[in-house]
């Protein structure tokens, strides 16, 4: 029986969504649950790893129930996720040894400043990234230094690290797969995006043992099978991709394709094709392709969702704020190596009716909404089909 549907799990920062797509990439059903965030100290942002699992299971079940499609017709599951967020757990008990440290967390700012003076050029050349608390490496180091049992678990080969995708895969698969994909690995500061391997020099700089790291796979590859109890069948996990790279894949694989996401944060990305390129204005990252991933330039421009939410609660006009966002996006559009022929936009804020007009008028280029504003989920659904 040919596959008629696919299931996509989209684990964001604000919430978790599950989608059922049909063969033409139309959304058949969608389920959403909000995720909690805590701020134990100024600049700290944490989430509950167990809540992520619980709500992921819940939304997948709800989306399948609402779709009313037989599970035998599902090709499998694809996962896209907030990147950089860091979870360490005991592989024997399955218990996280500390809450998830979210990508927004800035607790390691001082450590990053100290490392920059000695290692910035080396790290930029290997990873395409700057040394920043945004990325996973110093979050891992912080947990290893500050959680008393962490080192003992390392010594006993019981400690595992994962970004959100790896944590979810390990918990939901029958095989307890400990794996991530190139796109998520590329956001850790530990992965060489030229050799496509964990890098010994980087591991030494950040004092991260290789024993805790997941296996790295292509974004479109088999990641094991869901436990049958989760959705009622052992669906194979066929694709895994970081959220912004999934959005980029959804926009297109051709070099020069440019997209902007207006979501929890505002991100801009342009596909470079197979050639690595460094930029002082952008990070260089990876997007799915075979046999090797493509490179892309990416910039995080603004934390936007909270500002939009505040205006919505007061029933105020969004356009003045959207104009400010569009002006910031335009600054980065002008810094890209290639002027976009069209800017493809996705994310929840693109539901605002005037956003594409405002951005187009400011930037002087056509602006096109993605097929659905959940461009991350669409990208993974597309990846599963190709």
Of the pLDDT bands very low, low, confident and very high (cuts 50, 70, 90), residue 305 is low
Residue 310 located in a structural domain:
yes
pTM of whole model > 0.85?
yes
Assess whether 282 and 315 both reside in one domain: yes
Cα-based distances in Å from 193 to 42, 130, 165, 294, 356: 33, 13, 19, 10, 33
Whether residue 259 sits in one domain with residue 202:
no
Range of the structural domain that residue 362 is part of: 252-385
> Would you tell me how many other CB atoms lie within 10 Å of the CB of residue 163?
27
The pLDDT confidence band at residue 63, using thresholds 50, 70 and 90, is very high
Q: What is the pLDDT of residue 2?
A: 61
Is there a single domain that holds both residue 307 and residue 238?
no
Structural domain includes residue 97: yes
Which burial class, exposed, middle or buried, applies to 313 when counting CB atoms under 10 A from its CB (0-12, 13-18, 19+)?
exposed
Claim to verify: residue 53 and residue 145 sit in the same structural domain? yes
- Taking 90 as the threshold, does the pLDDT of residue 234 lie above it? yes
- Does residue 43 fall inside a structural domain? yes
Say what the pLDDT of residue 42 is: 94
Q: Count Cβ atoms within 10 A of the Cβ of residue 166 and give its class: 0-12 exposed, 13-18 middle, 19 or more buried.
A: buried
CATH number at residue 372: 3.30.420.40
Q: Determine the pLDDT at residue 308.
A: 67
The total number of structural domains that make up the chain = 2
Domain identity same for 133 and 65: yes
């Amino acid at each position: 029986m040919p596959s008629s549907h696919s299931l996509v799990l989209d684990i964001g920062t604000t919430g978790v969504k599950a989608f059922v797509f049909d063969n033409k990439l139309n959304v058949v059903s969608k389920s959403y649950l909000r995720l909690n965030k805590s701020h134990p100290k100024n600049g700290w942002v944490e989430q509950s790893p167990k809540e992520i699992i619980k709500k992921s299971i819940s939304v997948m079940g709800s989306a399948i129930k609402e779709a009313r499609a037989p599970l035998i017709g599902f090709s499998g599951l694809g996962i896209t996720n907030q990147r950089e967020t860091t979870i360490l757990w005991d592989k024997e008990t399955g218990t996280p040894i500390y809450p998830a440290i979210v990508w927004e967390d800035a607790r390691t700012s001082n450590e990053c400043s100290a490392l920059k003076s000695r290692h910035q050029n080396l790290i930029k050349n290997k990873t395409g990234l700057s040394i920043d608390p945004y990325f996973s490496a110093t979050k891992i180091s912080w947990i290893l230094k500050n959680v008393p049992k962490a080192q003992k678990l390392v010594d006993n080969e019981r400690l595992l690290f994962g970004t959100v995708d790896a944590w979810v895969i390990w918990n939901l698969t029958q095989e307890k797969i400990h794996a991530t994909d190139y796109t998520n690995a590329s956001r850790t500061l530990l992965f060489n995006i030229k050799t496509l391997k964990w890098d010994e020099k980087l591991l030494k700089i950040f004092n991260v043992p290789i024993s805790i790291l997941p296996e790295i796979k292509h974004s479109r590859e088999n990641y094991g099978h869901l436990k049958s109890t989760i959705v009622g069948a052992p669906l194979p996990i066929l694709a895994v991709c970081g959220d912004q790279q999934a959005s980029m894949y959804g926009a297109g694989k051709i070099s020069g394709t440019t997209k902007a996401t207006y979501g929890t944060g505002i991100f801009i990305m342009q596909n470079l094709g197979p050639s690595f390129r460094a930029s002082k204005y952008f990070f260089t990252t990876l997007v799915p392709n075979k046999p090797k991933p493509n490179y892309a330039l990416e910039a995080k421009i603004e934390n936007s969702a909270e500002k939009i939410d505040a205006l919505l609660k007061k029933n105020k006009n969004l356009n003045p704020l959207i104009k400010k966002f569009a002006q910031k996006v335009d600054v980065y559009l002008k810094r890209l190596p290639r002027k976009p022929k069209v800017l493809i936009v996705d994310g929840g804020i693109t539901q605002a009716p005037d956003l594409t007009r405002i951005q187009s008028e400011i930037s002087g280029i056509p602006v096109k909404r993605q097929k659905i504003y959940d461009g991350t989920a669409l990208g993974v659904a597309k990846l599963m089909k190709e």
